A and B are shown apart, each in its own frame.
Chain A
């Protein structure tokens, strides 16, 4: 048994040597077959891996923003994803936030009232996003101060004119020793009491270029209004968004006297929703590119079909000889399939390697990080093998039809 196994092994090896030698006997053909596959495989792998990388980056950023699975953001005004709503946006009130606070599945509620105001320091004037917040804002957004302190209850009670700066603000205004220094917001002096940690920015939202003042101070002294702009809600870990989000929506609709077909005058933004919004465009593009590269793979297949057919034609004499020497049709068929498999595995590997290189190159010019994944490696091999197998069946079958008569001098 052992020796017959050993014999079979040597036999397969001997067969395979024939396959490889025949492949190497026409290097130009071989190079073009490999090239055809490698190019489209590199494209497919790169597109797939970059898509995955972009997705991962969005997820990571969301996690950094603490827009985790347990967070919900309610924005005043309806019908738009971000920015100013299309409906009335003066209907969201502090009382809404207080009502939601009573829900058992809610852990933290952080109402904010924000707007873009003129902020100046030593004559430099900038339009800056100012948020009126409660102390709960920091834990609700897992956003801690780096220096000094955050807004405190006392600040709200006394309508203190204190401000906590986003990490980019001191640099923007060139404030050397911010704590204790003063800046002007809408012409009023505010004392700097703290600076926040830096948060990774997400898309077009420069989070670190914001300033935070006590909620009550913002409402009375800056905006002079009784409505709020957003409520950030952190759910209990056991709460399910699938259930809690519709419930919150119905409570708010009821509180805002919205019935029947009336549009929401608020937006509930969940991490899934954000992710879906940010990923959908990218996915459409990725799908489109993948479709193009799949077409290119079919073209590669046709190239293989042609080159293999040419090879079968060129090697007809040798195929006929093999038949004369006792090779069955099955052996000849397997011989050519093995040839294309060899090309496929080699090309799949090279295509995958190249895609890693291309990804590194792309990552040098874009924020996308190269992603190593066994999935793309497997994908590369599978696509490669499938393409070459499908398109080499015809030439391999043709090889079995070669008439040994061509070996003989004349008929």
Chain B
């Protein structure tokens, strides 16, 4: 079997608030291979988002080992982590998090700005991505002029612009009606079928069903359901 895209070994995360410390992750082990579609479910406060946060290189674990494409993440500098986030990881959030003053197209192009180059090719690709996600006529509209489902599709296009190897989704359908939810799930499935590795955190069993694998995180550890 090939090397896993993600390899977590005994990941622990402790938050210290004043004199009290909370152990949110209590030794998480995980292997994710290229092409996987993993849904992480579990009760609130179980550590799902913290795990996603660590997986997305937005934070470092307190202890344990995290290999991303074979590289130990704990040894990376802030700038190296930023570079990896930019090049290898796409994010989709429950609240979409689009820049309100930028058009749909500009929002999609934002990661290329932090990559350090915007080319004609990028603009064309952003436009094609929006077309593919059914937003061909809405490229120059601002987020406030788009519906929730449309905003989330812009966010998906933005996550894909730098052709990442991993897509992380935090409750991507949490703010959407059922029709828009279904659309987003359909898009994620298609992307996965094209080879994109996806990890999503969700409360919704229907959404989780679309994944190839489902794992349950409870009290900081993966449990069998």
A contact set with B: CB distance below 8 Å: 7, 10-11, 14-15, 18, 21-22, 24-25, 317-318, 321-331, 403-405, 407-411
Contact = CB atoms under 8 A, between A and B. Distances in A.
The 7 closest A-B pairs by CB, nearest first: A326-B86, A326-B114, A404-B58, A328-B82, A408-B49, A21-B101, A327-B114
A18 B174 contact: no
Interface stretch (B33-41, B64-72, B116-124, B182-190): B116-124
A326 B101 contact: no
B113 interface: yes
B15 A408 contact: no
Interface stretch (B89-97, B126-134, B146-154, B205-213): B89-97
A325 B114 contact: yes
Contacts of B101: 21-22, 24-25
A326 B45 contact: no
B9 interface: no
B93 A407 contact: yes
Contacts of B110: 322, 325
Contacts of A325: 85-86, 91, 110-111, 114, 158
B113 A14 contact: yes
A403 to B, nearest CB: 8
B44 A410 contact: yes
B59 A405 contact: yes
B78 interface: yes
For B79, B93, B109, which residue has the most chain A Cβ atoms within 10 angstroms? Answer: B93
A23 B218 CA distance: 43
For A15, A322, A409, which residue has the most chain B Cβ atoms within 10 angstroms? Answer: A409
Contact of A411 (B15, B83, B95, B171): B15
Interface string B162-176: 100000001100100
Nearest to A318: B99
Given A321-B97, A411-B49, A327 B102 contact: no
Contacts of A328: 78-79, 82-83, 114
A324 B45 contact: no
A317 to B, nearest CB: 6
B56 interface: yes
A327 B79 CA distance: 8
Contacts of B83: 326, 328
B24 A411 contact: yes
Main secondary structure of the interface of A (DSSP, over half): helix
Interface residues of B, number: 42
A328 B76 CA distance: 13
B115 A326 contact: yes
B49 A326 contact: no
Contact of A409 (B85, B118, B158, B170): B170
A326 B82 contact: yes
B216 interface: no
B35 to A, nearest CB: 23
A408 B170 contact: yes
Nearest to A24: B101
A295 to B, nearest CB: 36
A372 B7 CA distance: 69
Given A24-B101, A318-B99, A405-B58, A326 B87 contact: yes
A22 B110 CA distance: 14
Contacts of B97: 317-318, 321, 324, 407
Contact of A324 (B15, B56, B115): B56
Contact of B78 (A14, A329, A405): A329
26 contacts: A11-B116, A11-B117, A322-B114, A323-B58, A323-B82, A323-B85, A324-B56, A324-B58, A324-B91, A325-B85, A325-B158, A326-B111, A327-B82, A328-B82, A329-B79, A330-B79, A331-B114, A404-B58, A405-B49, A409-B49, A409-B93, A409-B170, A410-B45, A410-B49, A411-B45, A411-B50
A17 to B, nearest CB: 8
B52 interface: yes
Interface string B13-53: 00100000000100000000000000000001100011011
A410 B59 CA distance: 14
